[in-house]
Chain A
Amino acid sequence: MTMQDDRARKELLITIIAGLLDGIRHVAVGASSPIPAAGAMLLRARNEQQGKPPISISILGSSRHNFFTNGGVELFDCAAQGRVDAFFLGGGQIDGAGNINLVGTGDYPRMDVRWPGSFGSAYLYHLIPRVILFREEHSPRVLVPKVDFVSAAAVTPEVKRRGGPHALLTNLALFDFDRERGGFRLRSVHPGYTADDVRDRTGFDYAAPEIVPPTPMPDRATVELIRGRIVDELAECYPEFARTMAAAA
């Protein structure tokens, strides 16, 4: 992939994320998530331009971009109070029921592959209304029929919850999550791929419209906004990522 193609891929993902976040007031972003952060920054910039209400972005682990003064627990308390509208989770494995696995593959505890651990997922998935599952790799080893370990469960009818998955975004496609049915529905396929590519590379079953639309490309104004203001804003927290984006110009 050339640097320009890679930049176009990132710009598309950033634009989709801004769209998925539309309407929120406060989004929290993980410390090593430049693309979700950029999507949130794009929405913030657009809202400003269009005179829409401002949005707050908390970048975890950053001292400049967080509003918290009560230590590491405050984000979790804030989510429990209903003050965080959107968040991003990844997953070494994501299954068709929306469950995610951040622990590893094989039998617990001596797993074949061990990942870092569940972080705050088991809790935040229940409490944040719009959790966007973001995983760039779109392959059958990531998108599996059933995760080996449920770090966080998507649907739990036995308890009341406001939180859960909203969408799944990969390098190939965008899916919506249907909480009633407890499964994904393909919304669109990114330029350069077909609905068959998505079917071939997805390990779980999902609903799809008869004709799957292509994901719309960012318009010129959006691309200019990303290459200007958003890259500048990103440089504070994600200097390496911002440099790569700027170098592709």
Chain B
Amino acid sequence: MAEMVGLEALVASIAAGQSIAIPVDRAGVSMAATAAMIDAGLTGLHLVCVPISGLQADLLIGAGVASVVETSAVSLGEAGGAPRFVAAVRDGSIKLRDATCPAIHAGLLAGQKGVPFMPIAGIIGSDLLQVRPDWKVIDSPVGEPGKVVVVPAITPDVALFHAPEADRFGNVRIGRYRELATMAYAAKRTLVTVERIVDRDLMATEDSAAGVLPALYVDAIAVAENGAWPLPLWDEYETDGAELSRYAAMARTDEGFRAYLSAFLSRSKQVA
């Protein structure tokens, strides 16, 4: 059941070398926990981007926290390419596990169901099959004869995201972002930051419960106001486009990135 903790305690439960599932920008990224992870000096993490990432992955790569990156893309969206990701690919400092979006969803679904793999349409003919030897092409054992791709289950050590609210019982409102539930089902532990804790029971009515991840799947919750900034949080705030552009410009060089990171970390500490 979900434990209410501080931000530092939340990230202190992540160990070096673990795999950690993180959502796409619009689905609630915990930038507050990202800052705390960098501050805590975590290393060797295996990022599982569900199914892509942006600023969060770029910061974790640039700060040396992530050493394996499993993703269908890393991009800052309208602010352009992800500079630290690109630099790390070029100097070989991260191990890449290139994917395609629905394959990551399929792998998590296998994790959710406790089966070793999930078949998935398409992909055949793509060089992704060359660089992902863990993806297999098999003859379909049932139905019409034909080739089909299977991807192994993804069972992250940790799922981490940010949401608008949780109740006192640890139920978390995730709205339509069902991938957050999939991440939590598949992961061994789920850590959530929220804007606020509400007094009402989110499971009380059919209406409110429909968009909720039950406390059953949530291990720890920390309050972090504005915790997705500069990324957006649905129904709460938009992307801070100016901040993303500023990051994109500064992170082009290693020195610029260091300067950005140190300001980002001290700002996060003041807020926390």
The chain A residues found within 8 Å of chain B, CB to CB, are 31-32, 61, 63, 68-74, 76, 80, 99, 102-104, 108-112, 114-127, 149-156, 158-161, 163
Contact = CB atoms under 8 A, between A and B. Distances in A.
Enumerate the 4 nearest inter-chain pairs by beta-carbon distance, A residue then B residue, closest first. A153-B125, A71-B178, A117-B73, A126-B122
B9 interface: no
Interface string B111-135: 0000000001111111110010000
Given A71-B178, A73-B179, A153 B121 contact: no
Given A32-B77, A123-B102, A72 B27 contact: yes
B90 A73 contact: no
A103 B131 CA distance: 12
Interface stretch (B32-40, B92-100, B192-200, B214-222): B92-100
Q: Summarize B's interface: helix, strand, loop or mixed.
A: mixed
B244 to A, nearest CB: 13
Kindly state the interface size class of chain B when it binds its partner.
35 or more
A71 B176 contact: yes
A114 B121 contact: no
A121 B92 contact: no
Contacts, number: 142
A123 B100 contact: yes
Given A76-B101, A103-B98, A109-B96, A158 B124 contact: yes
Contacts of B101: 72, 76, 119-120, 123
A108 B121 CA distance: 24
A109 B77 CA distance: 22
Contacts of A99: 125
30 contacts: A71-B176, A71-B179, A71-B180, A73-B109, A73-B178, A76-B102, A76-B105, A109-B92, A109-B96, A109-B98, A110-B89, A112-B90, A114-B86, A115-B81, A116-B52, A116-B73, A116-B74, A117-B72, A118-B99, A118-B100, A118-B126, A121-B100, A122-B103, A123-B102, A150-B125, A150-B127, A151-B128, A153-B124, A158-B147, A159-B146
Q: Summarize A's interface: helix, strand, loop or mixed.
A: loop
B24 interface: yes
A70 B178 contact: yes
A74 B179 CA distance: 10
A73 B124 contact: no
Contact of A61 (B26, B92, B103, B120): B26
Interface in B46-104: 50-52, 71-75, 77-78, 81-82, 85-86, 89-92, 96, 98-103
Contacts of B100: 118-123, 151
Nearest to A109: B96
Contacts of B103: 122-123
Contact of B90 (A74, A111, A117): A111
Given A117-B98, A118-B73, A120-B72, A109 B125 contact: no
A55 B224 CA distance: 42
Contacts of B144: 160
